[in-house]
Amino acid sequence: MAASSLIIGAGPVGLALAVALSKQGQAVTVVDRAPACSSHDGRTIALAQGSCKILARLGVWDTLKGSAHPIHEILVSQEKRQGNVHYRSQDVSTDPMGHLIPMERLHEALLARAREEARITFLRPFVPTALSMNQDNVLLQAEGGQTLEADMCFGVDGRASWVRDYLGFKTRSWDYDQVGIVATLTHTRPHNGVAYEHFLASGPVAFLPLTPFSSALVWSQPPGHADYLMGLDEGAFCDLLAHVFPFLGELTLTAPRRSYPLAGHFVTAPAKGRAFLVGDAAHGIHPVAGQGFNLGLRDVAWFLDQEPRLFEGTSSAALTGAYTQRRMPDIVSMTAMTHGLVKLFSNESRTLRHLRGVGLGIVNRIPPLKKILTRHAMGLSLKG
């Protein structure tokens, strides 16, 4: 008999997972504590090329690609113009490096796709209060006394995961002492398909290409400075931003600024018993490289790649072990890469700034190294 699964959390990763498990023939129940899907949060998501391919396998990319904006190049630079590195998709592939998509569009497309699957049931609002596992199944209780039963459960309930805390998954966490300000804006010079990652000593500022004269902004700053920036009127905010990042001309906000406190965490093993953690519940990284959702989607792809029979009967111990073994290297290396980038560039020492400039220059002058880093940013296998 086909296995059954409970997914706790109907965010973008939870919905992608629901489609993946349903494609494996499973009966899937998705619960969320929020009464309705609400993702109008100002975020624009950079999808690596590898993620677009996963979304195509899930049957979502065709409806998304009309509203996605391609990224052809990434230019990494630091203030005072000491060294930069320029990644071009054409060096490794005929595809773009990735695409940008508003979070609400991504969420809507995943929800619509999940609703097409007859094997997926939604229950919301559903506020879980207890979760237990035994040899044969998992039991999930909610406020109001409703109890659900399934073969396996998946905690996909985001950064402050209830499943993670309730089941006592061992977690490492830290604070970046930074706040990410997101917005969209227009500029008087075209971006030409280039995503800019510019490191200021106080934190990175990223411009991600949308239409030819508009971009999404992610500006990470220490909390006090972020409060100050959020308090400025729109004109003064744009003038200050154009001063620290003068390459796109005059700037005008087209959507209100929103701010996110930035912290990081990962669990030392994302599965135990009959429970799996997926997406931000298992790992939360700094948005500096725009990789958090991409990493969660690669967790989902792992389940999509398994033989359906592995989910049946008593083989879940083998499944939890294999999930941990195969996903942890990607989770740890992506967490370390983003953490290292933030720490390396958030330092005002002149010597370090000079060394960073030399480092960026070296990457630029060694094409094989640059190709490896470009493939990594595109979410592609490092071979080929």
Question: Which tokens sit at 334?
Answer: 């992506």
Q: Compute the least distance from the CB of residue 322 to ligand FAD, in Å.
A: 21
Q: Compute the least distance from the CB of residue 83 to ligand FAD, in Å.
A: 24
Q: Nearest 5°: CA angle at 108, between 44 and 258? A: 35
Q: Compute the least distance from the CB of residue 288 to ligand FAD, in Å.
A: 9
Nearer to ligand FAD, 17 or 373 (CB): 17
Nearer to ligand FAD, 31 or 153 (CB): 31
* Bridge partners (DSSP) listed for residue 122: 30
Nearer to ligand FAD, 183 or 353 (CB): 183
**Backbone phi, then psi, for 236, in 5-degree steps?**
-65, -40
Determine which helix (DSSP H) or strand (DSSP E) holds 264, and give its type and residue range: strand 258-267
Nearer to ligand FAD, 83 or 282 (CB): 282
**Backbone phi, then psi, for 44, in 5-degree steps?**
-115, 130
Name the 3-class secondary structure at 149: strand
Nearer to ligand FAD, 245 or 353 (CB): 245
Write the CB contacts of 133 (distance below 8 Å, at least 6 apart in sequence): 139, 153, 273, 274, 275
The runs of H, that is alpha helices, within 117-222 are 162-166
Nearer to ligand FAD, 187 or 265 (CB): 265
Q: Are 260 and 178 in contact (CB under 8 A)?
A: no
Q: Compute the least distance from the CB of residue 230 to ligand FAD, in Å.
A: 14
Q: Could you list the residues that contact ligand FAD (CB under 6 A)?
A: 8-14, 31-34, 43, 45-46, 128, 156-158, 162, 180, 182, 218, 260, 279-280, 287, 290-294, 296
Which one-letter amino acid corresponds to residue 96? Answer: P
Sign of the alpha-carbon torsion through 200, 220, 230, 250:
positive
Residue nearest to ligand FAD (CB): 11
Candidates 27, 32, 3; CA nearest to 15 is 32
Q: Compute the least distance from the CB of residue 71 to ligand FAD, in Å.
A: 10
Nearer to ligand FAD, 83 or 345 (CB): 345
Q: Compute the least distance from the CB of residue 259 to ligand FAD, in Å.
A: 8
**Sequential DSSP letters for 147-210:** EEEESEEEE---TT-HHHHHTT--EEEEEEEEEEEEEEEEESS--TTEEEEEEETTEEEEEEE-
Nearer to ligand FAD, 83 or 98 (CB): 98
Q: Are 319 and 311 in contact (CB under 8 A)?
A: yes
Q: Compute the least distance from the CB of residue 135 to ligand FAD, in Å.
A: 25
> What gap in Å lies between CA 224 and CA 17, rounded to an integer?
38
Going through 43-146 in order, the beta strands assigned E by DSSP cover 44-48, 69-71, 73-78, 84-88, 98-102, 120-123, 128-133, 138-142
Pairing of strands 152-155, 4-8: parallel
Nearer to ligand FAD, 11 or 83 (CB): 11
Q: Compute the least distance from the CB of residue 172 to ligand FAD, in Å.
A: 17
Q: Are 267 and 277 in contact (CB under 8 A)?
A: yes
Q: Compute the least distance from the CB of residue 226 to ligand FAD, in Å.
A: 12
